[in-house]
Amino acid sequence: MSRAVRRARRAGATLAAVLTWAGLLGGLAGCDSAGEMLGKPRSPDDLIRVTPKDTAEGVKRDGKFQVEVPEGRLESVKVVKVQDAQRERVTGRFEHDRTRWRPTGEDADRLTLAAKYTVDAVAVDGHGRRVARHTTFTTSVPDERFVGYVTPENRSTVGTGMIVRIDFNREIDHRAAVQRAIRITADPPVEVAPHWFGKERVDFRPEHYWKPGTKVTVDLGLRDVEGAPGVYGLQHKTFSFTVGRSQVSVVDAAAHTMEVRRDGALLETLPITAGAPGRATYNGKMVVSEMLDVTRMNSRTVGFGGEYDIPDVPHAIRLTDSGTFLHGNYWGGRVFGSVNSSHGCIGLRDVKGGSSRTPAGWFYDRTLVGDVVEVKNSKDRTVAPDNGLGGWNLTWKQWRSPDSHG
């Protein structure tokens, strides 16, 4: 994970004192739902211990990799490795009565270089309660080389709001040379323009949302391109993704509703709860960047105190790097459609453990990474364009201007 991503998350977490998908801060989804009834938060290491630590960078190829619990048992461990936008499931085995998980296969003794690993673990603690943890780490890259971590994944099907995001593992001083080495084409053709956010991230998007059915190809010709003095690119890869149907959901924070539209037609109007006064949800266009069946959410990971620590939030859909989620809420009572009670997230009614029959499960099952969720009438600022895939909040003129942001 690049330093730019970490900085965006830290900045987002600071902004999230008013709060609004990198939100893998502290190994936890950093949401913002009302969690007063859940008691005092515990350290994530007290629940599920993952080695290497969350957000670790430059992990050596022979680095130790395991998941363990000090009490209870591991219910499931899912590990995904992404290298050059190629997604691969990492196999593993449980040991010691499911209190430990270790990788098998090619990752058993040697991790893959220049890769990003994502760990999703669910455990049952000594009291029979389910807890979840979500962490990431990246492995080392030779000092004289740089790589770009590409979003979305190769051969994926995404929503019409998808933005191509490339995070670099080190600062890029020769941005023009690197930009020339990245070619993005669309079929049917449409102009696609870059926008840099600092020296470690460049995003690409068209003027308007992609048309459904568009095939997008990303040619990453970085090999031997000098990105900084004495530092050269490592990759020469081609990726592609396909744009699926159009789905745009509009959250009206004042009316406590979310209209879900598919290809322009209204599918459903769902009752929601948004950020309470003083911790309102960001306004503006946000793009789904991650989907988790269940995750843990802890207020400390997004700049709050110990207000909540929810170990098993269902149907969690990330909208910003700083910790805004649209997610299932089983503890909110009768707030949906009437009261804004969260710390900045958007909550949909759900049940403990999650159900496809609830509004949260219904929406989760109909969502793609790349779908747009737009919030209006919230008493907060517009989400920053570099907070997640927020670039649609810049006009086309601003997007094409090198001085408009970053």
Q: What is the pLDDT of residues 309-324, one digit of tens each?
A: 888 999 999 999 999 9
Task: Round to whole Å and give the CA distance between 327 and 357.
Answer: 14
Same fold, 3-139 and 145-245: yes
145-245: what fold? Immunoglobulin-like (2.60.40)
Q: What percent of the chain has pLDDT over 90?
A: 78
CA pair distance 213, 375, nearest whole angstrom: 26
The alpha carbon torsion through 260, 394, 387, 222 (nearest 10 deg) reads 110
Task: Say which residue, 230 or 10, is predicted with more confidence.
Answer: 230
Task: Please classify residue 128 by burial: count the beta carbons closer than 10 Å to its beta carbon, then call 0-12 exposed, 13-18 middle and 19+ buried.
Answer: exposed
Q: What is the mean pLDDT of the chain?
A: 88
Please check whether the domain covering 3-139 is classified as CATH 3.40.50.2300: no
**Catalytic annotation on 31?**
no
CATH code given to domain 247-392: 2.40.440.10
Q: What would the pLDDT profile of 263-309 be if each residue is shown by its tens digit?
A: 999 999 999 999 999 999 999 999 999 999 999 887 555 555 556 58
Catalytic residue among 195, 256, 327, 343: 327
What DSSP designation does 15 have? H
Identify the sign of the CA torsion 342, 345, 350, 352: negative
Domain residue ranges in the chain: 3-139, 145-245, 247-392
327 noted as active-site residue? yes
What would the pLDDT profile of 31-45 be if each residue is shown by its tens digit? 543 333 344 445 555
